[in-house]
Amino acid sequence: MEIYDLIIIGGGPAGYTGAIRAAQLGLKTAVVEKDKTLGGTCLNVGCIPSKALLQSSEFFHEAQHDFAAHGIRLESVKLDLATMMARKNKIVGDLTGGIEFLFKKNKVTHLKGFGKILNTTTVEVTDANGTVSAIQTKNIMIASGSVPVELPFLKFDEKKILSSTGALALDYVPKDMLVVGGGVIGLEMGSVWARLGSKVTVIEYGERICAMMDTDCINVLTRSLKKLGVEFLTSTKVTASRSVGGRIELDYESLTDGKKSSIQGDVVLVSTGRKPFTDGLGLENVQIEKDERGRIRINEHYQTHHANIFAVGDVTVGPMLAHKAEEEGVAVAEIIATGHGHVNYTAVPSVIYTHPEVAAVGLTEAEAKAAGIEVAVGKFPFSANGRAKARGATEGFVKIIADKRTDRIIGGHIVGANASELLGEIIVAIEFGGSSEDLARSFHSHPTMSEVIREAALAVDKRQRQG
């Protein structure tokens, strides 16, 4: 009988990346995936389709509002939503097919079906025809990911009450969209539909949107989204919903003064978070424990209480991000094959791909203060940068946070066009234990928007040249 070194349950970023690394290290590896395509949430209904629509809708908005300033006059700009969606679907198809190719190239076995742990060395796979096979393995990696959280009075039908999956696949532009939850997914999908013409209202329980991110960055983003026409109801709790003449009406209550009100929309996007997915995994067969939020409990080596059963990605603790999931998958493959594997959690970036984008790594000023670290902060605006002016992208700034005692960079926060790409050098600086002086002394091509990072690094020591 064939015995695998590693069976991975789930073919998302954690699973497929871990599988490829395991195979590269010589482990006989298989991935069990229940869905038709590999790539998990990220490639099929997450990171990639959302970024495809964000890009297309940004072009649509720019063509209408920004091209004229460049001396480009368009008689009329028309939306062809079907083509926009087909383009998104093609990108998803290309990338998920690419993982199949990588599996073949690296000799990873793709087991199509639902995976269930029977005991510490057996995974049962049930395929689409109901055929069941029991497969033997030395190690198991649980990478079963997460699913959207549903509210009891807002059950997803993906027509009127949408999860992010439904919001990625609408075949018309709703007149108005109510977004319940002002986190990353709500703001990204809200931006897409606002740019395409929907009146978007974001209803957020907290005092402000994206509470975990740098306050100054979020203030810039909020201003910009309001300019786009997005309305925000913060400190507001949605309490009930009903269908009224084909529209959805939500009751809500202000958490500041208790005032009750209601609002109607063509559709509601519920983006109040995601929860780990462990249904049918057979955790009870091996007594694997979950915490109070349903996340599989692991130690610092990603092991459950069985040394050969690991959990990585969205199904366990930590930020629900594709790159975090990937790194954990790789770390477990390396731990199994070599005994060593590591993820540097101080350098996990997070990004909101709106316009402007918000990108962050490391600590905010507030978090540093709470941790008792005295900081020196350098901040520099894009409005003083030549390339940003040439591009018409002067909104926003870069903020570098250094430990005042050592000058070591402990945080970087950017709000502006392409913030996600610009953040890269700050991530690397943190990974290398770099100081603001290191960034300030590094060449930055002129003219580029990355010069703002250098100026912010110089500003840590109040040595910025412009602005």
Ligand X SMILES: Cc1cc2nc3c(=O)[nH]c(=O)nc-3n(C[C@H](O)[C@H](O)[C@H](O)COP(=O)(O)OP(=O)(O)OC[C@H]3O[C@@H](n4cnc5c(N)ncnc54)[C@H](O)[C@@H]3O)c2cc1C
What is the contact surface with ligand X in residues (CB under 6 A)? 9-15, 32-35, 40-42, 46-47, 50, 114-115, 143-146, 164, 185, 277, 280-281, 313-314, 320-323, 325, 353
Nearer to ligand X, 84 or 439 (CB): 84
Contacts of 121 (CB under 8 A, 6+ apart): 136, 137, 138, 308
Nearer to ligand X, 110 or 247 (CB): 110
Q: How far is the CB of 144 from ligand X (least distance, A)?
A: 3
Q: How far is the CB of 304 from ligand X (least distance, A)?
A: 15
Q: How far is the CB of 349 from ligand X (least distance, A)?
A: 9
Q: Are 335 and 302 in contact (CB under 8 A)?
A: yes
Nearer to ligand X, 46 or 174 (CB): 46
Nearer to ligand X, 195 or 454 (CB): 195
Dihedral angle at the C-alpha atoms of 124, 129, 130, 136, nearest 10 degrees?
A: -20
Q: How far is the CB of 281 from ligand X (least distance, A)?
A: 5
Cα–Cα dist 351/454, whole Å: 20
Helices within 256-377 (DSSP H only): 322-338, 365-370
Cα–Cα dist 245/372, whole Å: 55
Q: Are 354 and 191 in contact (CB under 8 A)?
A: yes
Of 239, 234, 241, 272, the closest CA to residue 256 belongs to 234
Nearer to ligand X, 135 or 402 (CB): 135
Q: Would you give the end-to-end CA distance of the chain in angstroms?
A: 70
Q: How far is the CB of 170 from ligand X (least distance, A)?
A: 13
Cα–Cα dist 431/433, whole Å: 6
SS (H, E, C) 67-118: HHHHCCCCCCCCCCHHHHHHHHHHHHHHHHHHHHHHHHHHCCEEEECEEEEE
Tell how far CA 205 is from the center of its chain: 20
Nearer to ligand X, 286 or 376 (CB): 286
Rg of the chain, C-alpha, whole Å: 24
The residues annotated with a catalytic role in the active site are 446
Q: Are 209 and 179 in contact (CB under 8 A)?
A: no
Q: How far is the CB of 321 from ligand X (least distance, A)?
A: 4
